[in-house]
Structure 1
Amino acid sequence: MSQSFLQTNTWAEFQRTLGHQVFNYDENNIKALIVRRDIPLRKNYLYISHGPEIDFNALTGGSDNAVRNFVRAMRQLAKKEKAVFVQAEPLFDSVAQVLVRQGFRPTQKKLQPAKTVVNDLTKDETEILAGFSHGTRYSLRVAQKNNLTVRESDELEVFLQLLDKTSQRQKFGTHPREYYEKFFEFFSDHAEMPVKLFVAELDGAPLAAALVLVWQGTGYYLHGASDYSRKDLRAPSLLHWEIMRQLKAEDVNNYDWWGIDSKLWPGVTEFKLGWGGQVVERPGAFVFPVRWFWYELYKLLKR
């Protein structure tokens, strides 16, 4: 079983709907879903998100031999696809260490956040509330006092309109509208990995929304948006509390906030930490250059 939804066949199918080529590696207890991603200069690279996955207990002949074979296969695939480099973002330090021994090198250009916060929803509500910071509890009381409501919705346009306001305010990049439309269409009725859209409102007017993907007992808060002009109502606070309560009622065990970074997103990070979850840190990103000239040029362009 995969250790991350980003390494599942379902995610591979979704990536194909976006037009990406997807490859699979499954040899000697090492598995990886590899996505070909385009970069400037009409080039591409091979991306392994939350992988590869290595079952060290089942490896035969030593981990170095198995990983060496994996790296050799990635190099061959990269040459076949004319990829500039291979990038892996493993979940565990043990995997990162064996990759480095076989030629991968750390990079700061990661796609997935290296840190996240996870709330344990198996606790009772009183215990969960007790873990919130003073500021989080205060914001929740304000939202409740203002009679905000939260509902599950199938109206993606509500989310997209709020997202436009959020991206303009915070000046951060978002996916194209088509990405969210395909994401919602693909996962909204999926049996094993459904996405849920939650909306916080005041008298029917949307103030905040979140897209939460549910897989293997965890709800992942992947995308969010809010109307900053009504920040005084603290809609995001009630939104996430009601999401937690709804997921808990459906026997979902964890709520993953999907990324914190105090340097890149200080305000968002402070908000997420205020809910008292456990901070989980991952090793980061590692690259294996294949076409050195183009790799060095790509690094210059990304500075």
Structure 2
Amino acid sequence: MTQPESPPNLRIVWDVGRLSEWAGLLAECGQSSLTQAFGYNQAMLTVEGWRPRLGIIELEDRAIGLVVMSERRLFRLVRIARLHRGPLLRPEARRPAVFAMVMKHIRQEYPSGPLNWTAVVPEWPAGDEGAAMMRWAGFRRDRAPGYRTIWLDLRRTEAELRAGLAQKWRNALNQAARAGLVVEVDRDGRQQLPWLLEQYQADKAAKGYHGPSAKLVIRMRTGMYKDGDILLIRALKDGVPVAGILVLGHGRAATYQIGWSDALGRQTRAHNLLLWRAVQELRDQGRHWFDLGGLLPDTAPGVTAFKRGLGGEEVELIGAWR
């Protein structure tokens, strides 16, 4: 591609942002990703040793976004860096020329070479234009798969959200409402998280799917509950828990993190009821966007179909680059 028109005075200021500025920018970006939030990165540092490095993106000396790079050292010589689902830009700054220049600055800060290993999955839609911008910025496409998710716009009214549900999904929600389920909401995870993690770990081991470790989830809960970013909801049938979900907030957005149902929970469509209750809770919190998490249509078609039934917008990111 030809060089995009360079936005005047665009720069990334590294290692200077305060926590309050980080949180404020995350909220202003609207459709933020969990992986760029402070609580997530603190948990990754504690559990897996990935050190976060915050960059404030400025245009004409005004902050328009942020980017968090995760770094590790190998043998004290090789710097390994990765970026997952960033940079984040304020809506008015979400333009191709701005994105291209931000990625150019990231490439300059993290050059490719024997002592610098960098992997990025940018928060930008898939397409030829985006791929050309990445190549112009100095990145090469990686073999690793990209990322797909569904965004649910919570700024719509509850009636509009309900009308957007797939008919099968709406029928299942109505069935759950008639099943005599009792819903419990835990807004800091203190009471219900140990129970949910026990079920989640057993289910993950039995079915062999990938997901965050229990230790990482616990550390995220520790770092995020004081900010009101923990939402754990479970359903009980005749006093016995049959399903549960964990949703993590970040700025004006939230992400569906983990969920579990037993046979009775699946029979009563408890998961539909829990996700719908989560939508209501997030709207009451003032969240604008609900990220339903990664889609795996080839390996998890049932889960993918379930998430699609909520009626959000399916998005595929630009993919993995190095």
State the TM bucket, normalised to the shorter chain: 0.7 to 0.9
Give the counterpart of 1:151 among 184, 198, 206.
184
- Residue 273 of structure 1: CA displacement? 0.6
User: Which residue of structure 1 lines up, in the alignment, with residue 175 of structure 2?
Assistant: 142
- 1:13–1:160: structure 2 CA closer, same or farther, 3 Å change rule? closer
- Residue 117 of structure 1: CA displacement? 1.4
Equivalent pair of 2:296/2:304 in contact (CA under 8 Å) = yes
Q: 2: distance between equivalents of 1:34 and 1:253?
A: 25
**Structure 2 residue 243 is the aligned partner of structure 1 residue 208:** yes
Give the counterpart of 2:308 among 260, 273, 290.
273
Equivalent pair of 1:222/1:258 in contact (CA under 8 Å) = yes
Equivalent pair of 1:162/1:208 in contact (CA under 8 Å) = no
Q: 2: distance between equivalents of 1:13 and 1:168?
A: 26
**Structure 2 residue 271 is the aligned partner of structure 1 residue 224:** no
Q: 2: distance between equivalents of 1:122 and 1:47?
A: 32
User: Which residue of structure 2 lines up, in the alignment, with residue 50 of structure 1?
Assistant: 85
Report Cα offsets for 1:53-75 as digits up to 9, x if no partner.
57687x89x966x7555323202
Q: Secondary structure at the match of 1:106?
A: coil
Give the counterpart of 2:118 among 55, 78, 86.
86
Q: 2: distance between equivalents of 1:91 and 1:106?
A: 15
Q: Secondary structure at the match of 2:255?
A: strand
Report Cα offsets for 1:257-301 as digits up to 9, x if no partner.
1222311321111000111112222212111xxxxxxxxxxxxxx
% same residue: 22
Q: Secondary structure at the match of 1:152?
A: strand
- Residue 127 of structure 1: CA displacement? 2.3
**Structure 2 residue 207 is the aligned partner of structure 1 residue 170:** yes
Q: 2: distance between equivalents of 1:11 and 1:160?
A: 17
Q: 2: distance between equivalents of 1:68 and 1:252?
A: 32
Q: 2: distance between equivalents of 1:156 and 1:63?
A: 41
Calculate the aligned-residue CA RMSD, in Å: 3.2
User: Which residue of structure 2 lines up, in the alignment, with residue 295 of structure 1?
Assistant: none
Q: Secondary structure at the match of 2:86?
A: coil
- 1:103–1:9: structure 2 CA closer, same or farther, 3 Å change rule? same
- 1:131–1:27: structure 2 CA closer, same or farther, 3 Å change rule? closer
- Residue 44 of structure 1: CA displacement? 7.3
- 1:37–1:146: structure 2 CA closer, same or farther, 3 Å change rule? farther
Q: In structure 2, what residue type is equivalent to 1:103?
A: G
User: Which residue of structure 2 lines up, in the alignment, with residue 131 of structure 1?
Assistant: 164
- Residue 236 of structure 1: CA displacement? 0.5
Q: In structure 2, what residue type is equivalent to 1:104?
A: F
Q: 2: distance between equivalents of 1:201 and 1:250?
A: 24
- Residue 229 of structure 1: CA displacement? 5.6
Q: Secondary structure at the match of 1:122?
A: coil
Q: Secondary structure at the match of 1:208?
A: strand
Q: How many residues are aligned here?
A: 274
Give the counterpart of 1:20 among 47, 50, 68.
50
Residue range with higher mean Cα deviation, 202-211 or 12-21: 12-21
- 1:168–1:44: structure 2 CA closer, same or farther, 3 Å change rule? farther
Give the counterpart of 1:74 among 110, 113, 131.
110
Q: In structure 2, what residue type is equivalent to 1:70?
A: I
Q: Secondary structure at the match of 2:276?
A: helix
How high is the TM-score relative to the length of structure 1?
0.77
Equivalent pair of 1:90/1:96 in contact (CA under 8 Å) = no
Equivalent pair of 2:185/2:233 in contact (CA under 8 Å) = yes
Equivalent pair of 1:162/1:227 in contact (CA under 8 Å) = no
- Residue 239 of structure 1: CA displacement? 0.7
Q: 2: distance between equivalents of 1:202 and 1:262?
A: 31
- 1:116–1:178: structure 2 CA closer, same or farther, 3 Å change rule? same
User: Which residue of structure 1 lines up, in the alignment, with residue 227 of structure 2?
Assistant: 190
User: Which residue of structure 2 lines up, in the alignment, with residue 104 of structure 1?
Assistant: 139
Q: In structure 1, what residue type is equivalent to 2:80?
A: Y
- Residue 235 of structure 1: CA displacement? 1.1
User: Which residue of structure 2 lines up, in the alignment, with residue 248 of structure 1?
Assistant: 283
How high is the TM-score relative to the length of structure 2?
0.73
Q: Secondary structure at the match of 1:136?
A: helix
- 1:101–1:248: structure 2 CA closer, same or farther, 3 Å change rule? same
Unaligned 5+ segments in structure 1 are 288-303
Equivalent pair of 1:20/1:36 in contact (CA under 8 Å) = yes
- Residue 86 of structure 1: CA displacement? 0.6
- Residue 98 of structure 1: CA displacement? 2.9
User: Which residue of structure 1 lines up, in the alignment, with residue 7 of structure 2?
Assistant: none
Q: Secondary structure at the match of 2:110?
A: helix
User: Which residue of structure 2 lines up, in the alignment, with residue 118 of structure 1?
Assistant: 151
